[in-house]
Structure 1
Amino acid sequence: MTLPESLETRPLPIIAPKGPRPYDTIAVLGGGAFGTALASVAARAQRETRLWLRDESVAADVRDNRRNTRYLGDIKLAKGITATTDLAEALDGADAVLLVTPSTTIREMAARIGELAPPDAPIFVCAKGIESGSGLLMSEVAAEVAPGRPIGALTGPTFATETAAGHPTAVTVACSSGVRVRPMERAAARMALSLATGAFRPYISDDLPGVEVGGAVKNVVAIACGILAGAGFGENSRAAIITRGLSEMKELAVKLGGSRETVTGLGGLGDLMLTCSSPQSRNFSYGFQRGQGRSDDEVFDGRPVVVEGRHNAVTATDLARRLGLHMPICEMVRSIVDDGEPIGDAFARFWSSPIGAEPRALDLEIAHPAVDAVERRFEDLNT
C-alpha cells in the first residue's frame, strides 16, 4: 500500500546554522527498481533529483507517468524527478551522486562520474559486493577510479517496492572520508539529512568496511537459507544459518578494519534478516528453487535474473582465503553454485563439521560424533 503523498511531502524541519547542510541536487545513476525508489525518496525530500537510466522508454515512463512500470509496477513516484539517458546531463552541477548500478559496472561508472561530476561531489555506492580479482569492496573500487572526492555507501534492509511505496524504511549511510571535518559536516551526515523524509530514516556511520561486508555476504547466506526452505526445512534451520552467517560477516569485517558492532546494525544484521526471510529477495528465491530440485538453468523459468549472491559467493571466499579466514557457509554455497557440488553433499559436509564453541575465546573443537547420520539426513537433497 502506498502511503498518502502528503506524509512524504511535509516540509522538513528548519536546520540550525550549526547543523549539516543537505545536498540540494542529487544525481541517481541506475534506473532499476532500487535506483528509481531512491530517486523517489530524494524527490520527496524536496531535493532536485536527476535519475539516469539506460533505456529511453523507461525514462519516458518516469517523466510522463511518474512510474517505472518495468521494475516497480503501478507504484506512483514522487513529483519532480528529471529522468534522462544522458549521463552528462544527470551529473551536471550535481552536489552528490547515488550510484545504483550492478556491482560489475561500478568500476566503469565511477570512472565516468570522476570525469563528469563536479570535483567535490561525493559518490555513494549502493551496489553490494566484492570485485572479482581485486577483492576490493565497492567503495574501494570507486575510490581507485575517482580519486580525490568523498566516497561512501548507502545500504540496509530495503526492498525497492516498499521503499518506493513509502513504507517506513531505515538505512545506513557511511563515509570514512573527511576526517578533518566536523562529524556533522561530513558527507555521510549531509546525505542522511538530504534523504530523510516522513518514512525514510537514515543512520550515519564512518565504518565503510563494516557496512559493505554485510551487504556483500548477506546475499550468499540468503542462498543457503533459500535452499533449506525449498527443501522443506523449517525456521530452526534458517535461524542457524542466519546466526552463523552473521559470525562470518563479523570475522571478515574485522579483518578489513571494520567493527563487529557495525555488522549487528542495519547494513549487516538488518539486511541479513530481510534477505534471508522473504521470497522478494532474488537470492533467497534462487536458493529456494535450487532446494526444490531445479537446476541452475531452470531457476526463474530460465529468465536472466541477476543473483548477486552467486557472484559474491566466489569473490567473498576468494578474499577470505587470501586473508586466511574460513567462511564455511560461504564456502558451502560456492561449492554448489560455482563448483557444481550436489546440494546434499555440500550441506552434509557443513552440518557434520567439527563442533565449535561460542564464544570464540573458548577455543574448542570436537569431532562430530554422527557424521553418517548427518549424511543420511541430507542425502535426499541430491535427487
Structure 2
Amino acid sequence: MTTRNPPAISVGVIGAGSWGTTVAALTSANTTTRLWARRSELADEINEHHTNSRYLSDFALPEQLTATSSMEEIVRSSDVIVMAVPSHGYRDVARDVAEHLRPWVPIVTLSKGLERDTQQRMSEVTAEEMPGHPVAVMTGPNLAKEIIREQPAASVVAIDDERIAGVLQRLFARPTLRVYTNPDVIGCEVAGAVKNVIAIAAGMGIGMGFGDNTRATLITRGLAEMTRLGLALGGELGTFSGLAGMGDLIATCASVQSRNNTVGRRLGEGETIDEIVDSMNMVAEGVKSCPSVLDLARVAGVEMPITEQVVAVCHEGRSAKDALTALMERDAGSELR
C-alpha cells in the first residue's frame, strides 16, 4: 500500500481481529493509525514483524501501522476511534474507551450484530456508553483477506452528518476500495446483522449438498426478511438493494471466507454448533445475534421464517435437515409481501 500525504487526523482502531487489522492497514496508508490489541504479545508482533499471524497469516502489514495494548494511550491520542469489536463484548469495551475519550471524537463501528440482552444496534450501544460523540457505521461486502490483498471492492460509511461522512470517506478510501456515504445508519446496521443470519442458512444448504437454486432462494428470501425488518425499524428502502444490503448478503452467503457461511456449511454436514464454535478462533456474529434479530422482529411484528429456523438450529437443537423441511412446508403466498 502506498502512502498519501496524511491529513492532520489520527485514527485509533480498537480490536486487532482480521477486519480491525485490515481497516487499520487501510487507514495507515492515508493517515497516522494505531491499533489496539488486547494481548501485548500481538501488539509486539505487529510492531516488530508487521504481521498478525493469528488472524491474517501470510499477510504483511504496512510498516507505518503501529499497535499497543494500552487502551488509554491509543484513545487519548486519536481523533477518530474505530470500534472493531464483536457485538457480544462491545459494551464492555465501549465503557473502557469512554473513560479516555476527548470530547466530540467520532466513533466508527464495524460490528455487524445486535446486543443479546437489549437487541440494540452497536450505534445505540455507543450512544449510551459514549454520549455526545458522533457515531458512524462502516459496512458492505468487505471480506478482510480480499481487501488486504487489494482486490477491487466497495464499502459504505453511514452517518447522518455529511461533513463527518466526507472526512471518514477520505480516511478509509484506497485506490482499490471505493467508499460511499449513506445517511441511513439504521438500515445499514440492520442489514449487517441480518445478512450474517441468512449466511448461516445458505451455508446449511451447501453443507447438505444442495446447489445454486437453493442458495439463490435463501439469499432472495433472506433479502426480503432483511428489508421487512429494516423498514419496520425506520431504515430506507434503497439501503437494502445497495452495498450494505444485497451486496454484503451476496458476498457473505457465497464465500468460503465467511465465518457465518462456514458455520452453516458445517451444520449442514452434521456437526453440532458446540463443536463448530469451539473450533473457531473468531466469532461468527450470526450465531450470537440470531436470537436478538428474531426477538427484535417479533417486537416489530415482522415475520422472519429463515431467521426462526437458524435460531432453532443454533440454539434449540433442531437439525439443518428439519429446518429446511420446515421452510419448504410453509404456505406459499405472494412474493411481494
Instruction: Pick the TM interval, shorter chain.
Output: over 0.9
Runs of 4+ aligned residues of structure 1 deviating over 4 Å after TM superposition are none
Tell me whether 1:263 sits opposite 2:240 in the alignment. yes
| Aligned 8 A contact 2:268 2:321 in 1 | no
Aligned to 2:220: 243
> Which of residues 6, 9, 13 is equivalent to 2:3?
9
After TM superposition, list the pairs within 5 Å mapping 1:8-27 onto structure 2. 8-9=2-3, 24-27=9-12
Q: Residue type of the partner of 2:185?
A: L
Normalised by the size of structure 1, how large is the TM-score?
0.84
Tell me whether 1:55 sits opposite 2:39 in the alignment. yes
Aligned to 2:65: 81
C-alpha deviation, 1:300, in angstroms? 6.7
| Aligned 8 A contact 1:23 1:191 in 2 | no
Aligned to 2:20: 35
C-alpha deviation, 1:210, in angstroms? 0.6
After TM superposition, list the pairs within 5 Å mapping 1:53-202 onto structure 2. 53-176=37-160, 178=161, 183=162, 185=163, 187-202=164-179
CA distance in 2, matches of 1:189, 1:121: 15
C-alpha deviation, 1:200, in angstroms? 2.1
CA distance in 2, matches of 1:330, 1:190: 36
| Aligned 8 A contact 1:23 1:194 in 2 | no
RMSD: 1.6
Secondary structure, counterpart of 1:193 in structure 2: helix
Q: Considering only CA atoms, is the larger Rg found in Structure 1 or Structure 2? A: 1
| Aligned 8 A contact 1:76 1:165 in 2 | no
Aligned residues between the structures: 337
| Aligned 8 A contact 1:120 1:149 in 2 | yes
Q: Residue type of the partner of 2:29?
A: R
Secondary structure, counterpart of 2:316 in structure 1: coil
> Which of residues 292, 295, 307 is equivalent to 2:269?
292
| Aligned 8 A contact 1:41 1:200 in 2 | no
Segments of 5+ residues of structure 2 without an aligned counterpart are none
C-alpha deviation, 1:296, in angstroms? 2.1
Segments of 5+ residues of structure 1 without an aligned counterpart are 13-21, 361-383
> Which of residues 250, 264, 268 is equivalent to 1:273?
250
CA distances 1:340-359 after superposition (whole Å, capped 9, x unpaired): 12322221111111111132
Q: 1:301 to 1:51 in 2, by over 3 A?
A: closer
Normalised by the size of structure 2, how large is the TM-score?
0.96
